[in-house]
Amino acid sequence: MSNQKSVFKLLPQYYLLGILLSKGKIQVYRGYNYIDLIFEIRFNKPNTVSLRSDNIHNIKEGKAQEMYDFLLPDIIKIWKILETEFQKEVFLEHLPEPKRIDDFAKKIARFVIRKIKLDNLFIRSSWGDDLTPELIKSNFLDGIPICISKLLSKTINGNLTQNDKSGIKSFLMGIADASAVIPGPESAAFGHTGTPRIQIEVDNTRWKLNLVMCLFLQKVMNVPVLNINWPHPTIKGRKGPEKVLLHNHQFRAHAWFFKSVGFNLSIKKNNFQQLKNKIEKQFKDKQPKYCPENRKDNKFTPVKEYKLKYPKVQGLTTTPYSCSEHSENFELLPDEIRGKHYAEFRHVCLDLGCSVVKPFFDNNYKIFNK
């Protein structure tokens, strides 16, 4: 990865796919051979020292930078990429409005491209030549495009070209630009006292996208993934599961090593640089640990012991937590994880099909099930 910066070129198709799949939407016209695509950028907070109520420590280091100071150049940057890639008129439908410093209402920049034909080059190169109106449903963007699936296969087989790597980095950068919280020390674990992290919050329905991000980050970009705070009622919000069922995913990657991906948007790029400067001495010489080996307290409870007490817990678990009835049967949860009671996030990854955690659990089951 040492020479990645010098040879990297932003590939617009993959960058825009990252934006689209993380926060975008699709408008389907039944019986017609075209669609509308909606690209959204989320900024999460009005300025760099604004903190949400769930950030324990009130950090006020340095001079605050307003999101709105960077907004116009960032809007123009995305607008030009969209117009060049689609060769169609791009409509700016929504801009964030400045309010109070502590206001965390949705801050969205929304671009709309109307009546894109299915033979458009962006559509064909992303989803293939055989796409028909009948194949496009309202949940179309919850799936993984063919071009990304091919990169996944090449990643697993270890035969990526440099252009493939540029595509992957562009894709991840698009996801981060659209859905990562503006970087800052408050993003670290345990109220900023733990490992600094980049938190990426893709939309609730994009479960499989998290697995794609995890594989690309760890296997291609050398970025350790700390954890995924899935919006499953037995993972997030155990004391009030019904409140988190439609929350966005909270995907946490190691901030220091995320420099191999970075950001394209000015506000996020600038604040990430400040965070890197702050944590450089702390992390630059450390060897990272990667998921699934980077978790603490892998003390497994024997199957018979925990199933007597917690019969709804699925598979391998750390020491089970005491809990009441949860909303495991929520109808919008993916089929693979509905009706299940989990002990930690890696078990959700396993059931969703993560190839990285499977060998880890296979090895531990051999000991665990004796």
- Please give the C-alpha separations between residue 2 and each of 7, 194, 223, in angstroms, as whole numbers: 10, 27, 13
Tokens coding 229: 């705070």
Phi, psi at 139, each rounded to 5°: -100, 20
pLDDT at residue 260 greater than cutoff 60? yes
Tens digit of pLDDT for each residue in 74-132?
899 999 999 999 999 999 988 776 655 555 555 788 999 999 999 999 999 999 998 88
Q: Are 226 and 291 a contacting pair, CB within 8 Å? A: yes
Question: Taking all residues of the chain, what is their mean pLDDT, rounded to a whole number?
Answer: 83
Tell me, what's the pLDDT at 7? Answer: 74
Residue 13 has pLDDT above 90, yes or no: yes
Using pLDDT thresholds of 50, 70 and 90, give the confidence band for residue 47: low
Count of C-beta atoms within a 10 Å radius of residue 18: 28
User: How far apart, in whole angstroms, are the C-alpha atoms of residue 296 and residue 273?
Assistant: 29
pLDDT confidence band for 2 (50 / 70 / 90): very low
CA atoms within 13 A on the CB side of 42: 21
Domains of the chain: 4-283 (3.10.28.10), 303-368 (no CATH)
Average pLDDT of the segment spanning 255-284: 92
- Strand bridging mode 25-28 / 34-42: antiparallel
Under the banding of pLDDT at 50, 70 and 90, the label for residue 176 is very high
Position 239 scores a pLDDT of 72
Sequential DSSP letters for 49-107 = T---TT--S----S---BHHHHHHHHHHHHHHHHHHHH-S--EEEE------TT--S--
Backbone dihedral region for residue 316 (phi beyond 0: left; psi -120 to 50: alpha; all else: beta): beta
Host H or E run for residue 345: helix 345-352
Q: What DSSP character marks residue 44?
A: -
Contact 224, 288 (CB under 8 A): yes
Note whether 360 and 293 are within 8 A (CB): yes
| CB neighbours of residue 173 within 10 Å | 25
Return d(Cα 282, Cα 288) in angstroms, integer. 12
